[in-house]
Amino acid sequence: MTDHIRPVPLDKAYRLLNHGPTVLVSSHFDGVDNVMAAAWACALDFAPPKLTVVLDKATRTRELVEASGRFVVQVPTAALLNLTNEVGKRSLAHHPDKLQQAGIGLLRLSGGTLPFVDGCSAWLECALVPEPHNQQTYDLFIGEVVAAWADDRVFRDGHWQFDSAGPEWRSIHHVAGGHFYAIGEAMHARERADE
């Protein structure tokens, strides 16, 4: 179902991550696709949009990112809770059929070899901004967002639509082990008269 996938203007891309969801990180190099879960991903800049993500040295995805210089950060939905938990626990090194076992479908939204996880609510295609000291010392990777998409059933006109989309569209926020929280209700702060 790619009919609902729409480009997101780059100046709105930060909104896809701003509320702190747990994400999936995917990459590809030399015929190998992989997907991992990451709770430690965060917006870093508005224009051009950048983000940070922590990729442990034990992950195969890190190797693919370092080799290809490209990766995708995407926002899984509550419907992908088990899938997200499974790709976060299993390494491709020990489970060569990890993606099939987790039931992951891959799209090639950008037209190249980069894999995008089907069923997510939003996708940020990133070019690695090489920072060897950060990568080696902190496992911290910086990506510049070069393109973004979202499913218009849950993000449109530059805004998340969690209140009107079904509960299966909620972003998920990892705490520890298999424990997550779904994002909840919208709240709007008071506007002061002197502003």
Q: Which is nearer to a second copy, 32 or 182 (CB)?
A: 182
- Asked whether position 193 contacts a second copy by CB under 8 A, the answer is no
57 sits near a second copy (criterion: CB under 8 A): no
Q: How far apart are CA 104 and CA 145, in angstroms?
A: 23
C-beta of 63: minimal distance to a second copy in Å? 20
DSSP string, 95-137: -TTHHHHHT--EE-TTSSS--EETT-SEEEEEEEE--HHHHHH
Does residue 72 bind a second copy (CB under 8 A)?
A: no
C-alpha pair distances (Å), 32 with each of 60, 68, 90, 92, 99: 10, 11, 16, 10, 11
Can residue 135 be called a binding residue for a second copy (CB under 8 A)?
Answer: no
101 Cβ contact list (under 8 Å, min separation 6): 86, 90, 95
The yes or no reply on residue 41 touching a second copy (CB under 8 A) is: yes
**Of the two residues 55 and 107, which places its CB atom closer to a second copy in the complex?**
55
Backbone φ and ψ of 127, nearest 5°: -100, 130
185 binds a second copy per the rule CB under 8 A: yes
Which CB, 2 or 45, lies closer to a second copy?
45
By the rule CB under 8 A, 45 interacts with a second copy? yes
As measured in angstroms, the least distance from the Cβ of 190 to a second copy is 5
Pick 5 or 17: Cβ nearer a second copy: 17
Identify the sign of the CA torsion 37, 43, 45, 49: positive
| Upstream peptide bond of 48 is cis (omega within 30 degrees of 0) | yes
Determine how β-strand 155-156 pairs with β-strand 159-160: antiparallel
Print the binding letters for residues 92-111 with a second copy: x by CB under 8 A, - otherwise: --------------------
List contacts with a second copy (CB under 8 A). Answer: 15, 18-22, 39-45, 50, 52, 54, 78, 81-82, 84-86, 89, 131, 133-134, 138-140, 142, 158-160, 162, 170, 172-176, 178-192, 195
